[in-house]
Chains A and B, each alone.
Chain A
């Protein structure tokens, strides 16, 4: 499993892997928002946490179809399915690799981009914490969606339709944590709930993803 993780990370980082594309996309969305809503600093400051969360969600979505699609096409996935490693473990490791290459950098960069959106200084810590707790859920839910659509030739659009509604609870609690953190109305509860969603997804969804992969490999 460790070997698989290193392999996936290496593939993502090397040329054509798409590492950094998600980050660039994140940056572009954040740059585009002021053009859309106007340069008013108070408005930008108010919507900054929400924009960062939605942008992070879309950036994570962008690289989802890569989780399984390439391995499915060249047959590596079929080999992994017959390997001694359980397919549930494979799904989890691939979600982890996706998180290390997208969720983690997004979390690290988000406070920096918050600076461009005139985010409240009090929000930085909450932004970082909520993204750190929430992005693992995004990766695991996404890997389930990617497993669902892996057999489809043009699954990209369908993937976003399937995965985005599943992101709703994570987004709500994540953005709410930042908002409550700024308002000093108790960010602990939403932060814990984001963490709970992540933990629950990590514990359960690899089983669903593996079941779906087995159906697709049939």
Chain B
């Protein structure tokens, strides 16, 4: 009995079916409570005023935008090495979710830029890196859509994801070299364990971050299930047309 057994499509469908409502429930609860708490029951910040409340959408979305790509990289590696079909489908399912998270982070960031920086957009390293990440998502999804044979598509996109990850990291540091920015440093440095967010904002923010994480997992599971069903349907139609 190894963990890889859960990658069997049948097993995957079996265990995700009961997990899915729970995942959506927990995600909805955490994000809902976190957002309501954050929006209505926290004081306004000294420097930012009421605009500080954008943080409850901006930070979790940005966090998930990066982690979604990381999850796609891991799934692609699993597909290339162990050839579990569910893994390739999960990578495919995660891409649009990650892209939407990137757009949310960019859009909320632009809205936040006006009151604090006086402009929607600056060519700041972080903003630029996110724009490039968005382009990577676009290319990845476009390649999936362009290839008909599902296994070829899975192979090619997996390699694109691996090579793209290297270049995404390279771009991140190249962009930093190119321009010093306005964006503040990370608010939640996980490595050092410290944080620059005051305690009143911290708990709802943490709830939103975990909520977004669970929401991402739930969406990816749901979309992967859809992909598996689509794959099965295609196999069935192919069989019936061959029989007829």
Contact = CB atoms under 8 A, between A and B. Distances in A.
A46 interface: no
A212 B162 CA distance: 12
A168 B146 contact: no
Q: Which of B138, B143, B163 neighbours the largest number of chain A CB atoms within 10 Å of its CB?
A: B163
B77 to A, nearest CB: 13
A164 B156 CA distance: 17
Nearest to B170: A169
Given A162-B139, A168-B171, A215 B146 contact: no
Given A151-B147, A165-B136, A166-B164, A173 B174 contact: yes
Interface string B71-92: 0000000000000000000000
Interface residues of B, number: 24
Interface string A58-91: 0000000000000000000000000000000000
B177 interface: yes
A212 B161 CA distance: 12
Given A158-B142, A165-B139, A197-B170, A144 B177 contact: no
Interface string A122-160: 000000000000000000000010001101100100100
Q: Which of B139, B142, B175 neighbours the largest number of chain A CB atoms within 10 Å of its CB?
A: B139
Q: Could you tell me the dominant secondary structure of chain A's interface residues?
A: helix
A29 interface: no
B147 A165 contact: no
B104 interface: no
B71 to A, nearest CB: 19
Nearest to A152: B146
B175 to A, nearest CB: 7
Contacts of B152: 151, 215-216, 218
A181 interface: no
A155 B145 CA distance: 12
Contact of B160 (A148, A168, A173): A148
Interface in B115-173: 132, 135-136, 138-139, 142-143, 146-147, 152, 155-156, 159-160, 162-164, 167, 170-171
B163 A205 contact: yes
A172 B156 contact: no
Interface in A21-51: none
Nearest to A154: B146
Contacts of A218: 152
Contacts of B155: 215
A193 B175 CA distance: 13
A165 B163 CA distance: 12
Nearest to B176: A172
A165 to B, nearest CB: 4
B15 interface: no
A208 B143 CA distance: 16
B4 interface: no
Given A215-B152, A216-B152, A172 B163 contact: no
A144 B164 CA distance: 11
Interface in A161-214: 161-162, 164-166, 168-169, 172-173, 176, 190, 193, 197, 205, 208, 211-212
A152 to B, nearest CB: 6
A172 B147 contact: no
Nearest to B129: A168
Interface in B175-210: 175, 177-178
Interface of B: 132, 135-136, 138-139, 142-143, 146-147, 152, 155-156, 159-160, 162-164, 167, 170-171, 174-175, 177-178
Given A165-B132, A165-B135, A197-B170, 9 more contacts: A152-B146, A162-B139, A165-B136, A165-B139, A166-B164, A172-B174, A193-B174, A211-B159, A215-B155
